[in-house]
Each structure stands twice: as C-alpha cells, then as structure tokens.
Amino acid sequence: MPPVSSLAIDERLSVLHEELAELTGQRNAIDARIVEIAAEIDRDELWAAAGARSTAGWLAWKAGVSPSRAQTIAAIAHRFDEFPQCIEGLAQGRFSVDQVGVIAERGLPGSDEHFATMAQCATVSQLRTALKMQPKPTPEPQPVDEADDEDDDGEAVADPGPQVSITSTSDEQYTYWHIALPHVENAAFEAALASHRDALVAEWSTGDPDGRGPIPSTAAAFLRLVHAGWDAEAAARPHGQRTTVVVHVDVAEKVAALHLGPVLLEHDRRYLTCDATCEVWFHRDGQVIGAGRSTRTVNRRLRRALEHRDRECVVPGCGATRALHAHHLVHWEDGGPTELWNLALVCPYHHRAHHRGLITITGPADQLVVTDAAGRALTSASLARTPTQPLPDVAPCPGPTGERANWWWYQPYETRPPDD
Ligand SMILES: [Zn+2]
Ligand SMILES: [Zn+2]
C-alpha cells in the first residue's frame, strides 16, 4: 500500500480539530444553560411536580441522558451557588461538564477558585486525583450536652470501625459485586461458604462417578448459600416485602388504623392496603370479620407474571427495579380484582405519589395512562428536538492542555481559617 501523504493527514486533522474545538465550546456553553435549568428544578423541587423522583431522575428522563451523566449535572446544579467560577468557565465554553462535575461532586466548600484555576489545564482524571488530595473534612464538633455526658475524658466520639459495604457494576454479560467485609463478618461468611461447599462436595461424591461433572467450585457454594437464604426468607414471609405492617380496616366506615397505632388518612390507608403485602384485619361494628387475604393477595405466581410483564416501575422515566409494589389500578376496596390486567408494578416512591394524588395511574394494564399533577400524560420520551435557537457565541475550546501533571510540586487545596 502506498504511504499516505503525512501532509494530507495533518491538514485533515487540523480541519477536524478546529471544528471539534468550535463544537466543544458550544456544547460546554449549552451544558452550562442545562445546569442552570437543573439548578432551578433542584432548588424548588420541581422534579416532583413533573412526576420524577429526583433532579437526576428528571434529567435522565427529559434529556434522554444516562443516569451517570444526569448525576454529574445534578451534582453541579445542587451546588450551583458554591462554584460560580467553575460554572462561569463552563458558560464561556472553556470547561467541560465532566470537569465541573467532578469538582462539584467532591470539592470542599471554598475550593471554587482553586479548582477553576486548575481546570484550565487539568483533565477530568487529573482533577479527580487533585480532589482526592484535599484534606479530609473535619466533622463539625458535636454540641456536647453537659447534663448527660457519659464519657468525661474528652475523647473524640469512638470510631465505629470498619463497616460492611457492597457495590456492584454491570456489563453486557456480568454483574460484578464488590463486597468489603470486616474480619469478624468475613469469618461468618467464610464458614457459611465452606459448609455449603462441603454439602455440595458430599452430594457430588455420592453421585455416579462416571456421570458426574467437575468437583463443585466455591462459586457454586456461593450460589447455594444465596438460594438457601432466599428460600428461608420466602418461607418466613411468603408475600413479599411489607408483611410486618398490620392495618385494621372498618369495612362499613372505610376507616383504617395501624395496629396499636393512629387512624390512617384516606390516602395512607389505600396506599398501605393496595398491594396486599401488609397484613389487613377487617372489622365491622368493632368485631373482627377476617384477615381477608384471599381476594387481594398477589401470590408468588402472579407476582412473577407481573414482574415478567412490567420489569420495572411503570411510571415513564422512572426505571426503578427494586422493592416494587404491585399496585391495584382499581383499588380492591372499590371491587378491583387481583388479576394481571388490574395490577401494575410501581416503585414505592411513585406508589405513594399516586395514592397522594401527585400522579395518577389509570388502567387497564395494557392501556396504562400515567399523568402528572396537572393531568398531563407522562411519556418516557425525552424532550430532544431540532434546535431553533442560534448556537451560543463562545470561543472554540481545544480542551484542557492535559500536560503531564507533576504531583510532586502540586499544592493541594487547603481550607483556610475564616477571615476576621
Ligand atoms: Zn396502589
Ligand atoms: Zn417509579
């Protein structure tokens, strides 16, 4: 193959780079305006009226961006007044939303000028490194209650010690769990894992030597541990998550009270008794007439069918997949049956929002309509459309110079004592 003329490549690259710098500057300036809008939404909690669960949730939905990008923008919006110089750099097209985002996520109060200066040449990952070098924020001294101060030796509050933590990330094929166990908890985990592995190996060794597969792995023992735990939980609470809530309903009066607790407001009664995972006792004229599970219980089979159909909270733009409730579209108090067409999976937030009248969810399930407080139908579509306004008039942004950072000479941000 003949060598491509390097001059031609240089020319092409410089044309492309120039256009990229122009577009990057404009995009940064546009992002600044988006941050401003998100700040207004965040300040007045307008996301709730729009039917979302948070500023980030609203943004991911309405702008059609990924949850992590939405988190970044929401982080800046939330600290809008604390980082005026960084946001000014964004508005002038000089900084990217990711640069300002890491600063807003981690920067200490008062660090605006320090990081605005640094962002002129530092890449996102260099900024991240610098942010990690900030002093650990000293916790505000707790006001000491003189009267019942139990340890008088002036010691700081005892360090709670290492804590259990669990996080996960996913790609197309796997979900990766990162579990940090302090040694004490880990001892129990290892013992449980070892006993499940022993049980698997015992089963394996009694099997037919010709037909059996490889010796069971620790991973198989881990799955056995999970299933054993899940089965025990399902046996203890066959109908899901909230069986510990006990509600008493007077059928004639349609009033309800929590067990040994207060009389419930109308919307709380309907919310609590909706997905039938709480225990409801029916009364008439002060007499218990039954625990009435049969008509409203979502059994495991129905629940699986519902999960298979809905997958996630049915409110557009929500996407929650955990701890979902089975909501009766026509409440069972009003004769709505516990059948698939009358049920919809909703997250606890939207379930409560519906029963409080913030949003309305109307069935049947195959023609579901969700509207916000003003009665506008919600759809999962983003607001994106072809622009009609001129592009922001800002200078091209070639990006941070990203020169090799010399951390040896870098002065981390230090909090200064307040001026007198
Ligand atoms: Zn409900
Ligand atoms: Zn939801």
pLDDT tens digit string along 107-120?
A: 999 999 999 999 98
pLDDT value, residue 387: 79
Final residue of a structural domain among 98, 132, 166: 132
pLDDT value, residue 85: 96
Rounded to the nearest angstrom, the distance between the alpha carbon of 58 and the centre of ligand 2 is: 12
Rounded to the nearest angstrom, the distance between the alpha carbon of 208 and the centre of ligand 1 is: 52
Residue 286: pLDDT band (50, 70, 90) is: low
pLDDT value, residue 127: 93
Residue 95 phi/psi, 5° resolution? Answer: -115, 155
CA pair distance 65, 63, nearest whole angstrom: 6
Backbone CA torsion sign across 52, 53, 55, 60: negative
CB atoms within 10 A of CB 71: 18
Rounded to the nearest angstrom, the distance between the alpha carbon of 348 and the centre of ligand 2 is: 7
**Does residue 288 belong to any structural domain of this protein?**
yes
Q: Which two tokens stand for residue 353?
A: 């929002």
Rounded to the nearest angstrom, the distance between the alpha carbon of 376 and the centre of ligand 2 is: 17
Mean pLDDT of 15-24: 92
Rounded to the nearest angstrom, the distance between the alpha carbon of 355 and the centre of ligand 1 is: 6
Q: Which two tokens stand for residue 64?
A: 């059609």
**Does residue 407 belong to any structural domain of this protein?**
no
Average pLDDT, the chain: 81
Give the domain extent around 261: 246-358
Residue 149: pLDDT band (50, 70, 90) is: very low
Among the bound ligands, the one closest to the CA of 320:
2
pLDDT value, residue 242: 41
Residue 150: pLDDT band (50, 70, 90) is: very low
Among the bound ligands, the one closest to the CA of 356:
1
- Whether residue 146 is predicted with pLDDT greater than 50 in this model: the reply is no
Rounded to the nearest angstrom, the distance between the alpha carbon of 327 and the centre of ligand 1 is: 4
Burial of 348 (0-12, 13-18, 19+ CB in 10 A): middle
Residue 89: pLDDT band (50, 70, 90) is: very high
Among the bound ligands, the one closest to the CA of 324:
2
- Whether residue 379 is predicted with pLDDT greater than 90 in this model: the reply is no
Residue 259: pLDDT band (50, 70, 90) is: low
Mean pLDDT of 258-265: 66
Closest by CA to 280, choosing from 235, 217, 338, is 338
Q: Which residue has the higher pLDDT, 380 or 148?
A: 380
- Whether residue 246 is predicted with pLDDT greater than 90 in this model: the reply is no
**Does residue 217 belong to any structural domain of this protein?**
no
Q: Which residue has the higher pLDDT, 18 or 137?
A: 18
Report pTM: 0.62
Closest by CA to 353, choosing from 56, 50, 63, is 50
**Does residue 14 belong to any structural domain of this protein?**
yes
Q: Which residue has the higher pLDDT, 92 or 159?
A: 92
Q: Taking a C-beta distance cutoff of 8 angstroms, is the pair 201, 222 a contact?
A: no
Specify which of 75-84, 139-148, 348-357, 364-373 reaches the highest per-range mean pLDDT. 75-84
pLDDT value, residue 244: 46
pLDDT tens digit string along 301-336?
A: 888 888 899 999 999 888 888 878 889 999 877 878
Mean pLDDT of 34-53: 91
**Does residue 344 belong to any structural domain of this protein?**
yes
Mean pLDDT of 47-66: 90
Rounded to the nearest angstrom, the distance between the alpha carbon of 275 and the centre of ligand 2 is: 15
**Does residue 20 belong to any structural domain of this protein?**
yes
Rounded to the nearest angstrom, the distance between the alpha carbon of 355 and the centre of ligand 2 is: 13
**Does residue 64 belong to any structural domain of this protein?**
yes
**Does residue 210 belong to any structural domain of this protein?**
no
Q: Which two tokens stand for residue 227?
A: 């299933």
Mean pLDDT of 169-181: 80
Closest by CA to 151, choosing from 138, 139, 142, is 142
Rounded to the nearest angstrom, the distance between the alpha carbon of 350 and the centre of ligand 1 is: 9
Final residue of a structural domain among 104, 132, 160: 132
Final residue of a structural domain among 325, 358, 391: 358
CA pair distance 232, 379, nearest whole angstrom: 40
Number of structural domains in the chain: 2
